Amino acid sequence: MNEAEPITVACLDLAGTTVADTGTVHTAFAEAIAALGIVSGTAAYERALARFRESRGESKIGIFRSLFDEPRAQAANLAFERSYDQLVDRRGLAPVPGADDALDRMRAAGIGVCLLTGFGRRTQARILDTLGWWDRVDMTLCPEDVPRGRPWPDLILAAALRFGVDGVRNIAVCGDTAAAMRSGHRSGASIVAGVLTGAHDRDRLLTAGATHTLPSVAALPDLVLPSPVDDTVTADHG
């Protein structure tokens, strides 16, 4: 815990952090670019996938805009959302083990919980509908809610304003990507926790600004909640 700066808001990522990602996002991206004629085995396909891997956690429409002109980026984003929906229908979705309990513990302690994502609003809503999580969180934000998506701090700062926090040091950020860590670092959050259940490894997360690394989001409550008995948490500190 952090006694000097009590955490009053937790901003958590979706895919790879609170929601298990078994390759669904990657497959949906590959199908989206294929719909625009970029198919497996071509140099353009490999370049697009490299851009996708490098940009995990960023706004999906932003990634498509870096690859295509605006009309084609919008078409690719729509294809991505449709593909993701179909994959969820076939494969289902599941929380990262312990995520449900982590959300419940933090809210029970009075911490406001906000789910952030690089997905558009439609995909974000589909995830929350599928998991039945609307009542488990206080707020959801996506790139459509802010001028800039990750790695910029706008999503976290928007949460700070909407929750009315005393200061950004009262915020904890949790994510699985370098983009999420950069966003948290730039926002001034006192805790920027990288989890090892998603896209990027420990070294990548620490280099991008993580203050802690955790095996999963299940360990986050022990980091952010005050404990009168023992304030030691099992985490790696950068």
- pLDDT at residue 236, as a whole number: 55
- pLDDT at residue 1, as a whole number: 45
Q: Over the stretch 81-136, which tens digit does the pLDDT of each residue have?
A: 999 999 998 888 999 999 999 999 999 999 999 999 999 899 999 999 999 999 99
Stated pTM of the model: 0.88
Report how far residue 87's alpha carbon sits from residue 201's, in angstroms, rounded to the nearest whole number: 25
Question: Residue 132 region, left (φ>0) first, then alpha (ψ -120 to 50), else beta?
Answer: left
Report how far residue 64's alpha carbon sits from residue 51's, in angstroms, rounded to the nearest whole number: 9
Q: Over the stretch 165-182, which tens digit does the pLDDT of each residue have?
A: 999 999 999 999 999 999
Relative orientation angle of helices 24-35 and 70-91, to the nearest 10 degrees: 140
Report how far residue 55's alpha carbon sits from residue 105's, in angstroms, rounded to the nearest whole number: 31
Report how far residue 238's alpha carbon sits from residue 13's, in angstroms, rounded to the nearest whole number: 20
Pick the closest to residue 114 from 90, 87, 140, 83 (CA basis).
Answer: 140
Cβ-based neighbours of 21, under 8 Å, separated by 6 or more: 15, 198, 199
CA 190 remoteness from chain centre? 17
